[in-house]
Amino acid sequence: MQESDYITQFLTYLQTEKRFSDHTLLAYEKELVRWSDYLATEAEVSLFNATLQHAKRFVIWRSKQGITPRSVNRMLSTLRSFYKWGIREGHIGQSPVEHVRSLKTPKKVVMSVPREDLNALFTDEGRFEDDFIGSRDQLMLLLLYGLGLRKSELISLRPTDFDWYRQTVRVIGKRNKERQIPIPKSIASYYDVYMKRRAQLATAKDPELLLTPKGKKLYPQLVYNRVLFYLKGTTTVVDKNPHTLRHSYATHLLNAGVDINTVKELLGHESLSSTQVYTTSTFEELVKVYNQAHPKGS
* Domain match, 11 and 61 both: yes
Q: Find residue 163's DSSP bridge partners.
A: 168
pLDDT digits (tens, 9 = 90+) for 51-65: 999 999 999 999 888
Known catalytic residue: 243? yes
In a domain? residue 267? yes
Helices and strands: H and E segment counts in the chain: 12, 3
* Domain match, 176 and 243 both: yes
* Domain match, 139 and 245 both: yes
What per-residue confidence (pLDDT) applies to 295?
47
- Catalytic residue, chosen from 136, 150, 252, 264, is 150
In a domain? residue 47? yes
252: amino acid identity, one letter:
H
What per-residue confidence (pLDDT) applies to 294?
45
Strand order in the sheet with 178-182: 162-163, 168-172, 178-182
Angle 15-205-128 (CA atoms, 0-180°, nearest 5)? 100
Residue pair 227/240 in contact (Cβ under 8 Å)? The answer is yes
Domain with 80, as residue range(s), is 3-88
| Count of the separate structural domains present in the chain | 2
Known catalytic residue: 99? no
> Strand runs (DSSP E) across 166-274, as ranges?
168-172, 178-182
CATH code for the domain in which residue 70 is found: 1.10.150.130
Known catalytic residue: 174? yes
- Catalytic residue, chosen from 57, 174, 179, 205, is 174
pTM over cut 0.85? no
* Domain match, 237 and 143 both: yes
- Catalytic residue, chosen from 54, 136, 198, 246, is 246
CATH code for the domain in which residue 274 is found: 1.10.443.10
* Domain match, 129 and 260 both: yes
In a domain? residue 170? yes
Known catalytic residue: 62? no
In a domain? residue 98? no
Q: Provide the pLDDT confidence category of residue 196 given band limits of 50, 70 and 90.
A: very high
In a domain? residue 99? no
Q: At what angle do helices 132-147 and 220-232 cross, to 10 degrees?
A: 90
Known catalytic residue: 107? no
Known catalytic residue: 108? no
- Catalytic residue, chosen from 83, 194, 249, 278, is 278
In a domain? residue 102? no
Distance between CA atoms of residues 160 and 157, nearest Å: 8
* Domain match, 139 and 44 both: no
pLDDT digits (tens, 9 = 90+) for 209-224: 999 999 999 999 999 9
- Catalytic residue, chosen from 127, 216, 226, 243, is 243
